[in-house]
Structure 1
C-alpha cells in the first residue's frame, strides 16, 4: 500500500495548501468514509472541469489544480489522490476508455478517475470529474456510481489501479496550453487483443 500513500511530482500533497485543505476537509469527520466523501465532493464540486467551463490554464500537478481551481478529469484525479493520501487513505488512479461523442463509436479517449482503499470495503472507484446534465457521479457505498457507463464493446473499464499517472496523460497535459487544444488531442490507448 505504500505506493498509494506516497507523495510524488504530480500527486504532491506535501504542498502546504493541499495539506491545509486535507486537514480542513477531515475536520469533524467521524470515520474514514466521511473523509473520503468530503474530499471527493470537494474536488467534484469545487474544481471546475476545464472543458465543461472552457477554462485555462491546463493543470496537471495536484497543487496547480488546487491553485487554479480547474482541471481535466485526469488532473482532478491527481488532486483527489493527493487529498486522500494527505489524510493517510490509500488512493490510486484508474482509467476508462470511452467514446468521445458518447455514442459508443470512435473516436475514443481515456477518462481519468480514482480508486480508494477503504478498510471495510477494499478498493472502491470514485469519479470526481464534475457532474452536469447526464452525469451524476456519487460516493454511494457499497455501489459505485461513476460519471460514465460502458456502452460499447470498444469501451472499457481498465482494471489497473495506478499509483502514478500514465505517461500518455502527462504528455498531453504538459504539451498543450489551452483547454481546446487538449480537447482536440485527448489521449487514447490500443486495447490488448483488439483490432482497433
Structure 2
C-alpha cells in the first residue's frame, strides 16, 4: 500500500496547498469514507474539466490542478489521488480506453481513480466532472463512473497504477493549450501493451 500513499512529482501530496486543502476537506468528517467522498465531490464539482470549459493552462501536477482550478480527467485524477493520500487514504489511478466520438476509432484513454476503503477494498471513482450526459457519483460499493463501457471496442485497462502512465504525462506536458491536448489525446494499443 505504500506506493498508493507516496508523494511523487505528479501526485505531489506534500505540496503545501495540497496538504492544506486535504486537511480542510477532512475537517469534521467521521471516517475515511466521508473524507473520500468529500475529496471526490470537491474535485468533481469544483475543479473544471479543461475541455468542457476550454480552460488553459494545461495542468498535470496535482498542485497545478488545485492552483488553476482546471484539468483534463487525467490531471483531475492526479489531484484526487493527492488529496486522498494526504489524508492517509490509499489511492491510485485507473484508465479506460474509449472511443472519442461514436462507435469506432479513434480511441483515447480516460483517467479515473481507485480508492482503498477498509469496508470495501479498492473502489473506482471518476471525478471527471458531471454534465448533462455524464453522472458519476460516490456510492460504494456500487460504481457510478462517468463512462460505462458499452462498446465492445472499449475497455477498462487492468490494474491500479500508483503513478500516471508516461503517455498521459507526455500529452499533458508537451502541449501548451487544451486544444492541442485534445488533438493529441493519449492512447495505448491494448493488443500490444503489457499491463
Whether these two folds match at TM > 0.5 is yes
Q: Deviations over 1:103-135 (max 9, x none)?
A: 231110000000001111000000000000110
Q: CA contact under 8 A between 1:99 and 1:106: conserved in structure 2?
A: yes
Q: Quick one: distance in 2 between partners of 1:143 and 1:98?
A: 21
Q: Deviations over 1:162-185 (max 9, x none)?
A: 000000000010000100100111
Which stretches in structure 2 are left out of the alignment for 5+ residues? none
Q: Does structure 1 residue 132 correspond to structure 2 residue 131?
A: yes
Aligned residue in 1 for 2:44: 44
Q: How does 1:5-84 map to 2 (within 5 A)?
A: 5-84=5-84
Aligned residue in 2 for 1:87: 87
The Cα shift of 1:69 comes to 0.3
More off after superposition, 161-170 vs 144-153: 144-153
Give SS of 1:117's match.
Answer: strand
Which stretches in structure 1 are left out of the alignment for 5+ residues? none
Q: Quick one: distance in 2 between partners of 1:193 and 1:20?
A: 42
Q: Root-mean-square deviation (CA), in Å?
A: 1.0
TM-score scaled by structure 1? Answer: 0.97
TM-score scaled by structure 2? Answer: 0.97
Q: Quick one: distance in 2 between partners of 1:161 and 1:151?
A: 21
Greater than 6 Å deviation, 4+ residue runs: none
The Cα shift of 1:152 comes to 1.5
Q: Quick one: distance in 2 between partners of 1:45 and 1:187?
A: 24
Q: How does 1:96-135 map to 2 (within 5 A)?
A: 96-101=96-101, 103-135=102-134
Q: Quick one: distance in 1 between partners of 2:28 and 2:103?
A: 43
Q: Quick one: distance in 1 between partners of 2:167 and 2:187?
A: 8
Q: Deviations over 1:24-43 (max 9, x none)?
A: 00011001110000000000
The Cα shift of 1:54 comes to 0.2
The Cα shift of 1:193 comes to 6.7
Q: Quick one: distance in 2 between partners of 1:78 and 1:97?
A: 18
Q: Quick one: distance in 2 between partners of 1:104 and 1:191?
A: 17
